[in-house]
Chain A
Amino acid sequence: MMALQPLFAAWFADLMDLGGLLLVIPLMLPVVGLLLALIVRGRSLGRFALALLLLGLTSAAAITAAVATGDQALHYQLGGWAPPLGVALKADGLSAVMLLTTAVVLLGVGIYAQRGFQVPAGLPETRRSLAFWTLLCGIWGGINTVFLGQDLFTLFVALELLTFSAVPLVALDGRPETLAAALRYLLFALLGSVLYLLGAVLFYGTYGTLDIALLADLIAGADALPPAVPVAAALMTVGLLAKTALFPLHLWLPPAHAGAPPAASAVLSALVVKASFFLILRIWFDLMPALLTLTAAQVLGALGAAAILFGNLVALRQTRLKLLIAYSTLAQIGYLFLIFPLAAGGSSVAITAGALQVVSHACAKAAMFMAAGLIAAALGHDQIRGLGGIGRALPLTVLAFGLAGLSLIGLPPSGGYLVKTLLSAEAIGTGQWWWYLVVQVGGLLTAAYLFFVLSQALSASPQPTIPREHPRLVQQLVVLALALCALLLGLLPLSAVDLLEIGRPAAADSGAASALLADAWSLDKLWSGLWPVLIVAALVIAVRYRQQRKPVEPEGIKPTAAPGRALDQLDSLLRQWPVGGLLLLVLVAALVQTMLVGR
């Protein structure tokens, strides 16, 4: 073992020396895996995928190390053809961190899923096993290409790879309601693809290139804005919003993310929705930073704020654990869009906060979905009211669930705390206090439902809980490890935060994010974040105590019944096809309008 270490170090150094060529590995490794998975013997598929994921993690680490030590982005021209004729790849600090996060989360999911997707003795191959492992590779390939691609059409193909791999995962259990959820997801995501492609075509028709860097120069250099540009931007943004499931375009997300098998839910919630968000980020901050008018930014921010409030409130009403986690994803996506109004002034702090939110939510949500999967397998159901006694039966899993939850609430030292600190500081600093309020209220609502779930899980059950299916220790440990990743993100050295800015358009306030974060550890700051959460915890315990003395109501906590029912009605209204389609069209028109008016 000791002899292997220098060998590995030397190999790793060789990898880093590859420079731009290194980017081909995360691009092609998942694709090769997807293809070979069809030929590999069915019984060894899980281990084959695991080996690939380990290689993928190594290459992602090498890219991150190369970007960090070189202090510049890695570039590569495929086939040796320079854009606009050819297609370029680029990994700046942001993409490198995203590649690394993807590799870590997928490795965790890969270890966790060994049990659920193994082939039973006596069979050469099963439907579930082949579909899961091949599609996991497909998702991985799509996401990596999204992070590296610099060409709008290549990015479209990457989105297609991602969508076609993600949709069947939803229906892997084969129940009618999951098939319906998958079809809903497929149709809405394809609608998004069409809008994106239309936008890309308009860019090509206007400028004759699809390369992001070239387009950015052309757009920045033009005196007058061609009319096609705001239309293209609006089409692409709304198409990607549909794929990201930002409120009010979330009609497909709750049934899809709650109906998939836990390992698949983890990937869909942690990673897949972030890929389309990443492209929105690229479009607005790399492709045409000057076009982010104040009104457009406020519209996107308002949708994000609505997602935070609405998602968290509806999560409070859920009776099933997986649906609660799915609605929490809806809310957490909202934080990603608060960065638009906060970064519209050209500050890089909000973008850093968005990237940190992607990373910490990816780890935390993957851990939560997988923990919920273990809990549901042990209990045979995932009713929140029936969680009593599970804390005693699966202590590690419930601990992991709780720790991941701390990151979603935004308690120190989690990644969520960094996000909240940066967003709050920017909101106050730019005089937009309303976003500050949203961030704080969102955290407290999250705390309310997580404490409710935990208090149920930790309560004693009348009968001793005997797990139907006891999880493997390694599964529990993987879930705990991912939860710890999210929780301890805040303890990373501040240089890790600066890494996010490498290779990005120079901002006037480079290093501002790490300066803000260095200031985040004073006692009064920590306390000011903590006491409201403690009050919420006390309230939840009080409500629980009262409920235990009264006859049990069959549903989630209801502060008051009438507003709750109205919320449910609003949610079911928004999740109807005609309404979703209508909102999609309205958003396109509204975004075009904001870009034209605000100039």
Chain B
Amino acid sequence: MTSALVVDAALVLLVLGLALWITAARAAYGAAVGFVAYGLLLTLIWVRLAAVDVAMTEAALGSGLTGLLLLGAAARLAPYEAAEHQRRPGLGLRVLVGVLCAAIAAGLAAVVLLLPDPAPSQALAVAAHLPATGLGNPVTGVLMAYRAVDTLLESVVLVPALIGVWSLSTEMGWGGRPGFLTPWRSGSALPLLARVLPPFGILVGIHLVWAGADDPGGKFQGAAVLAAMWILVMVAGLREPPRVSDRLMRFLLVVGPLCFIGIGAAGIRLAGAFLAYPEAYAKPLIIAIEVGLTISVTAVLGLLLAGPPVPEPQYQRQSRRRS
């Protein structure tokens, strides 16, 4: 018991210290590296709190893919950072903002400590109705049945986010390939890694999705692993990213949410409500939606990292320079 307490206390102190360090770090790249480590520490904390689903999501999305995005952005911004530091607000203003932030954070902490204990929860109701969905994992029950509309809309939100990234291209670049992930220098170990790792990664990703019905895991975590494998293959130069006008890729982007809406609409007839499942087929239908969503989320996450499209000549130039 006491050893667990020591570990927990150490984790808490580490997370707080790291958070402070990230806030104070002057270089964006360093802060981004710190953020990845911070995400991994948070993952451990979620595991300690027995929230394995949240832990996996934090590791895959919060720390992994977000970390990649941040590192990429920091690397691109590095040349401009010095100029930005010149325009920092004065010490007085920074102290004032810091004091206010600290006061509000302290207020929030006090309020959180005053929340009712034990916390009111829907856990019993979630468990009581779980058999109707045929699922074993209550988190999946919440995401795919009780609050299916949130999951549906979350998967849809990814689409405007991707279009936002794409819209940063020039009109000339439209229809071309995304330009952020041009292949790395040959002679590095990356191509080898990109040949060896993906078979295992894909297996792990699919397992996460499949197991998510009954055990911790699910489409977002699985899709993050699959997207990471795809990105690895693209960065290693084994496959080029698809053109933004590619019809098949466009279809894969939307197949998941469309399949979700289609099955949800069928529920009006078959189960009496939009996004309801007929009891006998609930589990197969939910798994079908999860598979569709995995495909779409993988595609969106991979393309988000691949960046806005660039004109074909520029793409070729970038590829040559790197290889």
Taking Cβ atoms with an 8 Å cutoff, the residues of A that contact B are 21, 24, 27-28, 31-32, 34-36, 38-39, 76-81, 84-87, 124-128, 130-131, 134-135, 138, 141, 145, 151, 153-154, 157-158, 160-161, 164-165, 167-168, 171-172, 174, 179, 198, 202, 205-209, 226-228, 231, 578, 581-582, 585-586, 588-589, 592
Contact = CB atoms under 8 A, between A and B. Distances in A.
B189 interface: no
A227 B93 contact: no
A134 B122 contact: no
In order of increasing CB-CB distance, the 8 nearest A-B pairs are: A208-B120, A80-B273, A168-B164, A35-B254, A79-B275, A127-B174, A131-B167, A138-B160
Contacts of A151: 147, 150
A151 B153 CA distance: 13
Interface string B207-251: 000000000000000000000000000000000000001010011
Q: Could you tell me the dominant secondary structure of chain B's interface residues?
A: helix
B148 A78 contact: yes
Given A86-B146, A208-B122, A231-B108, A80 B272 contact: yes
A127 B122 contact: no
B149 A78 contact: yes
A27 B268 CA distance: 15
19 contacts: A28-B261, A31-B257, A35-B257, A36-B258, A124-B175, A127-B166, A128-B171, A135-B160, A135-B164, A151-B147, A160-B157, A161-B153, A164-B157, A168-B164, A206-B120, A208-B120, A208-B121, A226-B115, A228-B114
B82 interface: no
Contact of B147 (A21, A35, A86, A228): A86
Interface string B106-128: 01101110111001111001100
B124 to A, nearest CB: 10
B258 to A, nearest CB: 5
B163 A135 contact: yes
B268 A21 contact: yes
B169 interface: yes
A39 B248 CA distance: 9
Given A39-B251, A585-B100, 9 more contacts: A35-B261, A39-B250, A78-B275, A79-B148, A86-B147, A127-B169, A134-B163, A153-B147, A231-B111
A198 B159 CA distance: 25
A204 to B, nearest CB: 8
A245 to B, nearest CB: 20
A381 B166 CA distance: 28
A288 B262 CA distance: 37
Interface of B: 89, 93, 96-97, 100-101, 103-104, 107-108, 110-112, 114-116, 119-122, 125-126, 129, 145-150, 152-154, 156-157, 159-161, 163-164, 166-171, 173-175, 245, 247, 250-251, 253-254, 257-258, 261, 265, 267-268, 271-277
A164 B164 contact: yes
B191 to A, nearest CB: 32
B236 to A, nearest CB: 28
A131 B167 CA distance: 6
Nearest to A160: B157
Given A87-B147, A226-B116, A589-B104, A79 B276 contact: yes
A131 B96 CA distance: 41
B157 A81 contact: no
A392 B160 CA distance: 41
Contacts of A226: 114-116
A227 B115 CA distance: 8
Of B104, B110, B272, most A-chain CB atoms within 10 Å = B104
Contacts of A585: 97, 100-101, 104
A167 B122 CA distance: 35
B214 to A, nearest CB: 20
B97 A578 contact: yes
Of A79, A206, A207, most B-chain CB atoms within 10 Å = A79
B129 A85 contact: yes
Contacts of A81: 129, 145-146, 276
B183 to A, nearest CB: 25
A78 B273 contact: yes
Nearest to B148: A79
Given A79-B267, A80-B273, A168 B163 contact: yes
Given A126-B174, A206-B115, A34 B150 contact: no
Contacts of B168: 171, 174, 179
Contacts of A127: 166-167, 169-171, 173-174
B274 A167 contact: no
Contacts of B157: 157, 160-161, 164
A213 B226 CA distance: 41
Contacts of A160: 157
Nearest to B272: A80
Contact of B111 (A77, A227, A586): A227
Contacts of A141: 156
Nearest to B128: A85
A85 B171 CA distance: 47
A31 B254 contact: no
B115 A164 contact: no
B97 A161 contact: no
Given A124-B245, A207-B120, A167 B164 contact: yes
B104 A161 contact: no
Nearest to B121: A208
A588 B96 contact: no
A141 B152 CA distance: 12
B111 A164 contact: no
A352 to B, nearest CB: 30
Contact of B100 (A131, A228, A582): A582
Contacts of A125: 174-175, 245
A34 B273 contact: no
A85 B121 CA distance: 10
B25 to A, nearest CB: 19
Contact of B160 (A124, A165, A228): A165
B250 to A, nearest CB: 5
A172 B167 contact: yes
Contacts of A130: 163
Given A32-B258, A78-B148, A589 B167 contact: no
Contact of A34 (B115, B159, B167, B268): B159
Of B116, B250, B274, most A-chain CB atoms within 10 Å = B274
B107 A79 contact: no
A35 B156 contact: yes
Given A77-B273, A80-B273, A157-B153, A198 B108 contact: yes
Nearest to A166: B160
Nearest to A128: B171
A24 B274 contact: yes
Contacts of B116: 205-206, 226
Contacts of A168: 160, 163-164, 167
Contacts of A134: 159-160, 163
A165 B257 CA distance: 17
A8 B268 CA distance: 23
A79 B274 contact: yes
